[in-house]
Amino acid sequence: MSKPKLMLGNEAIAQGLMESGCVMATSYPGTPASEILATFAAFEKKGPEKRHIQWAVNEKIAFEIAYSGSITGLRTAVSMKQVGLNVASDPLMSAAYLGVKGGFVVISADDPGPHSSQTEQDSRLMAMMAKIPVLDPDSPQQAKEMIAMAFELSEAFEIPVMLRPTTRVCHARQDVQPGEILPLKREVDFQKDPARWAATPKFRLHLHQELEKKLNAISRYKKTAPIKLNAEATASRALIVSGVAAAHAKEILKDLNLWNVIPMYQVLQPFPLHQDFVSHIFKTYSEILVIEETTGVIEMQLADRHCIKGKLTGSVPSVGELLPETIEQIIGEFAGIGIEPIDLPSEPGIRPTLCAGCPHRAAFFAVKKAAPKGIYPSDIGCYTLGLNLGAVDTVLCMGAAVSQAAGFYHAYKHEEKQPDIVATIGDSTFFHAGVPALIDAVVQDVRFVLLILDNRTTAMTGNQPTPAVGMGACGESLNSVNIEGVVEGCGVKFCRVGDPYQLKEFTALLKEAVKYSRVNGPAVVISRHPCLIDRFRKEKPGWQPLKVEVSDACDGCAFCIDHFECPALILDKTEKRVSIDPILCNGCGVCISVCPKKSIKEVKNAG
Amino acid sequence: MPDEGSMRQQIVISGVGGQGVLFVTRLLAEAAITKGLPVFTSETHGMAQRGGTVLSHLKVGNFSSPLIRPGNANGLLALKADSLARHGYFLKPGAWAAINSREGMVVEPEFSAYTINGDLLAQHIHNPKSVNLILLGFALAAISEATENSLFCNLEDIKTVLQQRLAKKKQMLDDALKAVEAGFNTFSTP
């Protein structure tokens, strides 16, 4: 047996995919799920089989590709974050009816907190809505084991199976025991069956009936049944836990010396909840506390409410991450032990900011110059941090910058005065969901500027390639799609490219675009400068870092701090002077053009 | 040093995105595995990594939860001076804190706090981004006294992990070892 290895939860999931003979994996990056596909791609050369691994343009496309692989008999998986599952929900609902051939696992990573997401939504509810089973791991090790369990379950009932890890599983590291990677001999064999794979509404009714039968059988399937963790405990009140809440509760129960007292059941498959388990707990216990994240999915399947405590009774918070200290309080109260609450300091952390030298910062500065009283819809990515510069007014979901700009335009168009609208969207987000919205804006003659922040990568999630890069998940060369071509193909007549590091020229270009858009409809400006922290970039940077200093002309007016907000600019309030942190500064030199007093200058090398 | 069968240690590591909090967390976790100890870490990824507050939890020994509860940590590695105020609530009485601080700081008496000017030392050794390793080396020296809160690993363990991780990157390895040792020696020869 090989030695245990330190694995991130997402790496353990990828390891599980390898061990289970998954040969097709697709994804669109999103925190906390991104490392699953990246790790699986890094295995590419190790496994015995030929595989297909790809970043797709969005989650819907990723889902449909992997799903179709499974109906040829292969084992396949798609991974995404919870809001990505919203994008893929259309194929998810339908795939549940049609079912699968080879095992198909949908990995949807939730983010209670939320730490890095727009919502705290519970993917298990999506599984419930789609009527597919969902497994809820408590740790990296269990996530790996559940991948094997999910493939087996998926093939046993010809149904997609969801794995729902949360941030604390995805981004925990643990010593995980790797298993053997065995070749799984599978023939690719798509059996035509139009009555199933292209079912008409009449047959869909039949498939729905079949789906209900499958769910009924899955709620009796032994291998995913809840487990009683502490055989010794025999009290008349019991705990039901699942996911990371189970990991916390196990430790807390031991620390409170209640391990041998309060019976604790871990639910591995929150939906469909096992019927025998439900009868057993109602027969055995007088009071039951359910602790799960984020919605009461297990709780709502316990229809007899008289002895159930949980989110619906207010015993467990319905909002936010269930931190172990919260769970300790809840268990203490349930067990009748008073636990003194700890007074936590309310001191806020340091807010995130765009990197020093980030090209987005320069682009946002130019937006405020070009349309000072404008409305600024924006989107999902690093550039959401344009908030700090006052250049982001709205963030809804992937691609919404374009359609929200349209919404604002249509709302104001009958007014006497119309505000300028400058929407910002990242390159990857533009491909993901911005393109259909741009077509709509062209058709509807929406008068706005779309600024595409093209840093040649998906930066926020760890620099995955975009369709414009021409590189695959395993580093292989692929075709690339040019953003200008897409924009022009959508019917936009004004499409120009600029480098935001050339701040004056870039601001002038944006002003021209704003002016054009007021009369002529959509104008697109592509702000092109590569991300400074992209480890995978092969192109040469194309610019030389400058050494800059602040001269004595600085009077500490703090204009650069307030309006440019670069972390390398440090204001000394007592000395009334700004200085440049040499460790943080990346030498973009944009601040030279930002300072209204012209006190930031390039240091020319002597001689 | 308690025997390894009963070894249970919980350490909080804090800083801001870009300082290398995750790297230090990972080195300590690898050191635990090398010593045959079970380990859990919990990390901050995503947007907070862009210069925002980053907090790692490290738990060595038999645990099932990846998170440390307030009042339970044996120690704190703080890459920013204000971290004790911000994350001190994780510490239990008698815990240690190793803090990177440009100025000496007033410390609460219930903790054993040790401070080092890691930023300055990093510039001296011409490796401005090595503050994380300097602080780790410093902590390994400072927390070596045998108490119930003493670290589960020592300088040699960390060097071994670095040698494994950076085996193919000679220059990075040399720089990393130099930084850890510089921090370690600062405590030994004040």
Q: Report the DSSP beta bridge partners of residue A352.
A: none
Per-residue b or e along A94-129, where b marks 16 or more CB atoms closer than 10 Å to that residue's CB = ebbbbbbbbbbbbbbbbbbbbbbbbebbbbbbbbbe
Question: Which of B43-47, B52-56, B65-69 shows the lowest per-residue confidence on average (mean pLDDT)?
Answer: B43-47
- The answer to whether residue A303 scores a pLDDT higher than 90 is no
Confidence of residue A526 (pLDDT cuts 50, 70, 90): very high
Nearest to B45 among A116, A343, A344 (CB): A116
Confidence of residue A148 (pLDDT cuts 50, 70, 90): very high
Count the residues in chain A.
607
Q: Please give the pLDDT value at position B188.
A: 67
pTM: 0.95
Chain A residues closer than 8 Å to B120 by CB: none
Q: How many helices (H) and strands (E) does chain A have?
A: 21, 23
Contact predicate A453/A424, CB 8 Å: yes
Closest-CA distance, B14 to chain A, in angstroms, reads 11
Nearest partner of A437 among A390, A372, A486, judged by Cα: A486
SS (H, E, C) A341-406: CCCCCCCCCCCCCCCCCCHHHHHHHHHHHHCCCCECEECCCHHHHHHHHCCCCEECCCCHHHHHHH
CA separation, residue B46 to residues A74, A110, A594, B155 (Å): 33, 14, 29, 31
Q: Please give the pLDDT value at position A338.
A: 84
Q: Using the beta-carbon criterion (under 8 Å), do A385 and B50 form an inter-chain contact? A: yes
Nearest partner of B177 among B106, B116, B127, B119, judged by Cα: B127
| Selected residue with higher pLDDT from B139 and A605 | B139
Count chain A–chain B contacts defined by CB atoms under 8 A. 125
* Mean pLDDT for all residues in chain B: 88
Q: Please give the structure tokens belonging to residue A53.
A: 């691994």
Count the residues in chain B.
190
Position A585: which residue type? Answer: C
Count of beta carbons in the 10 Å neighbourhood of residue A174: 30
Chain A residues closer than 8 Å to B30 by CB: 6
Q: Using the beta-carbon criterion (under 8 Å), do B65 and A324 form an inter-chain contact? A: yes
Q: Using the beta-carbon criterion (under 8 Å), do B45 and A31 form an inter-chain contact? A: yes
Torsional sign, CA B169, B172, B175, B180: negative
Confidence of residue B2 (pLDDT cuts 50, 70, 90): very low
Q: Which chain B residue is nearest to residue A355, measuring alpha carbons?
A: B50
Q: Please give the pLDDT value at position A184.
A: 78
Position B176: which residue type? Answer: A
Quickly tell me which residue has 């396949």 as its tokens.
Answer: A76
What crossing angle do the helices spanning A435-443 and A400-412 adopt, rounded to 10°? Answer: 20
Q: Please give the pLDDT value at position A588.
A: 94
Which among A7, A36, A171 is the top mutation candidate for probing chain B, defined by the most B β-carbons within 10 Å of its own β-carbon?
Answer: A171
Chain B residues closer than 8 Å to A139 by CB: 40, 64, 66
Q: Please give the pLDDT value at position B50.
A: 76
Nearest to A324 among B25, B69, B86 (CB): B69
Closest-CA distance, A193 to chain B, in angstroms, reads 43
Chain B residues closer than 8 Å to A168 by CB: 42, 66-67
As a whole number of angstroms, the distance between CA A50 and CA A203 comes to 36
Q: Cis (ω within 30 of 0) for the bond into A224? A: no
Mean pLDDT over residues A340-358, rounded?
81
Contact predicate A295/A317, CB 8 Å: no
Q: Please give the structure tokens belonging to residue A90.
A: 């259309």
Nearest to A248 among B46, B65, B128 (CB): B65
Q: Which chain A residue is nearest to residue B57, measuring alpha carbons?
A: A172
As a whole number of angstroms, the distance between CA A342 and CA A184 comes to 52
Nearest partner of A491 among A527, A528, A453, A439, judged by Cα: A439
Q: Using the beta-carbon criterion (under 8 Å), do A139 and B66 form an inter-chain contact? A: yes
Q: How many helices (H) and strands (E) does chain B have?
A: 6, 6
As a whole number of angstroms, the distance between CA A516 and CA A489 comes to 19
Confidence of residue A534 (pLDDT cuts 50, 70, 90): confident
Closest-CA distance, A356 to chain B, in angstroms, reads 10
Chain A residues closer than 8 Å to B26 by CB: 6, 173
Contact predicate A419/A374, CB 8 Å: yes
Mean pLDDT over residues A346-356, rounded?
81
| Kind plus residue range of the DSSP H or E element containing B54 | strand B53-60
Q: Which chain B residue is nearest to residue A173, measuring alpha carbons?
A: B41
Confidence of residue B46 (pLDDT cuts 50, 70, 90): low
Chain A residues closer than 8 Å to B63 by CB: 251
Confidence of residue B74 (pLDDT cuts 50, 70, 90): very high
Q: Please give the pLDDT value at position A607.
A: 43
Mean pLDDT over residues B7-35, rounded?
93
Position A531: which residue type? Answer: C
Residues of chain B with pLDDT > 70, as a percent, come to 88
- The answer to whether residue A316 scores a pLDDT higher than 60 is yes
- The answer to whether residue B148 scores a pLDDT higher than 70 is no
Nearest to B69 among A325, A354, A460 (CB): A325
- The model's pLDDT over A373-420, given as tens digits with 9 standing for 90+, comes to 999 999 999 999 999 999 999 999 999 999 999 999 999 999 999 999
- The answer to whether residue B43 scores a pLDDT higher than 50 is yes
- The model's pLDDT over B77-121, given as tens digits with 9 standing for 90+, comes to 999 988 888 899 999 988 999 999 987 665 667 788 889 999 999
- The model's pLDDT over A165-189, given as tens digits with 9 standing for 90+, comes to 999 999 999 999 999 987 878 899 9
As a whole number of angstroms, the distance between CA A185 and CA A85 comes to 30
Q: Please give the structure tokens belonging to residue A140.
A: 């990296």
Dihedral pair phi/psi, residue B123, rounded to 5°: -70, -35
Q: Please give the pLDDT value at position B1.
A: 45
Q: Using the beta-carbon criterion (under 8 Å), do A342 and B63 form an inter-chain contact? A: no
Q: Cis (ω within 30 of 0) for the bond into A272? A: yes
Closest-CA distance, A250 to chain B, in angstroms, reads 7
Mean pLDDT over residues A346-367, rounded?
89
β-pairing, A449-454 vs A494-498, is: unpaired
Q: Using the beta-carbon criterion (under 8 Å), do B129 and A325 form an inter-chain contact? A: no
Contact predicate A122/A271, CB 8 Å: no
Q: Please give the structure tokens belonging to residue A208.
A: 């729905």
Mean pLDDT over residues A315-341, rounded?
94
Q: Which chain A residue is nearest to residue B43, measuring alpha carbons?
A: A171
* Mean pLDDT for all residues in chain A: 95
Confidence of residue A247 (pLDDT cuts 50, 70, 90): very high
- The model's pLDDT over A461-473, given as tens digits with 9 standing for 90+, comes to 989 999 999 999 9
